[in-house]
Amino acid sequence: MIINHPLLGPCDAQEFIYKGDARLIDRPDGMSDGAEAAFYDYAYLRDNPAGEHRELWFHEQGDRSWLVVTRNTLTHEITSVELARDVARSRGRSA
């Protein structure tokens, strides 16, 4: 499988480590009302879609960037690759 890195171009998936559902970016506010339930959901509950899935990949044997890869779990087709930093910033999650 080839991941088309937004900075470096096509890279072998062997260079990456899979880090799970991209929803991990949306860490709940631990000080808010209902934080316990929100963290239970955040820590334990995952969707397992047969189809398009947004997931985190870490370029461990490359430039160490975190990516959000949109992948079809049925076909392995990758339709979008973004820097996780940009995704997090667009949601106000990172400076």
Partner 1 sequence: MHDLAPLTALGTTRPRQDTIGPLTISEAPDWALASVAARLEQERACADALAGLLGGPAPGIAQHVQGAELGAFWIGPHIWLIEAPYTPDLAQRVKSACGGSASVTDQTDAWVRFDLTGGGIVAVMERLSNLDIAQMQPAQARRTVIEHLGCYVIRHADSLTIYGPRASAQSLHHALVTAAKSAL
Of 12 and 41, which CB lies nearer to partner 1 in the complex structure?
12
- Choices 22-30, 35-43, 55-63, 68-76; region in contact with partner 1 by CB under 8 A: 55-63
With binding defined as CB under 8 A, does residue 90 bind partner 1? no
CA-wise closest residue to 19 among 84, 87, 86, 95: 84
Where b means 16+ CB within 10 Å and e means fewer, 31-58 reads eeeeeeebeeeeeeeeeeeeeebbbbbb
Q: Between residues 7 and 35, which has the closer beta carbon with respect to partner 1?
A: 7
Cα separation, 55 vs 45, in Å, equals 15
Q: How big is the chain by its Cα radius of gyration, in Å?
A: 14
Please report whether residue 95 would count as binding partner 1 according to CB under 8 A. Answer: yes
With contacts defined by CB under 8 A, name the span among 24-32, 45-53, 61-69, 71-79 that binds partner 1: 61-69
User: What is the contact surface with partner 1 in residues (CB under 8 A)?
Assistant: 7-8, 12, 14-15, 61-65, 83, 85, 95
